[in-house]
Structure 1
Amino acid sequence: MKQASVTFANGFHVLTGDAHSQAASMVIAPGGSEGGPDNAHRGADQWLYIESGTGEARVNGHVYPLDAGALMLIQRGDRHEIRNTGATPLKTLNVYVPPAYTSDGDERPAGKS
């Protein structure tokens, strides 16, 4: 059993995980963004939950609004960017299956644990 407190500090932070899944928090400042047109997790699906704030997800060329309480699945290989379009920080909880990052926040190669 693993347990972690969810904290929302600026930037991206791996919270906990095991060989099968991983949780991370991300805070994007107003006007900021994470990812980009070529950003894709080659080996993991990403569940993105919006804790607070407003923004948009650009996934494979489509734009989806994000508000507190929204839950979105970004499938492995989807090109994506998350933008904060609001006046307050955009706080997200991210779950990756399987893990997408090392404990230091570096992306893992596809299929590597």
Structure 2
Amino acid sequence: SGRIILSKTFCGSAAYAAPEVLQGIPYQPKVYDIWSLGVILYIMVCGSMPYDDSDIKKMLRIQKEHRVDFPRSKNLTGECKDLIYRILQPDVNRRLHIDEILSHSWLQPPKPK
């Protein structure tokens, strides 16, 4: 029918939860899952969590400020950081969709030389 169904329930770890969920705002499950994907991708390339969840209020404030810090020691490419940064977008209307993620330059095969 084209209607967007919003969820109101939360289950899982706060460390993987999108800001809208932590704030108790009804959310679109697929858009929420994109945020969690960003957290997992960050963990995969950095070896640590993007946000410290020992203080949820502080974590939420940092997320809403769209702060994503990458360890310098990992020497991540700008494309990798760009993808994660755009996935961990606190504004649900600006967060990447799956088709945008799949077509992102970081996920494309290298150009032949």
TM-score, structure 2 normalization: 0.27
* Higher relative contact order (Cα pairs below 8 Å, separated by 6+ residues): 1
User: Which structure: greater strand fraction?
Assistant: 1
**Pair member with larger Rg:** 2
> Is the helix fraction higher in 1 or 2?
2
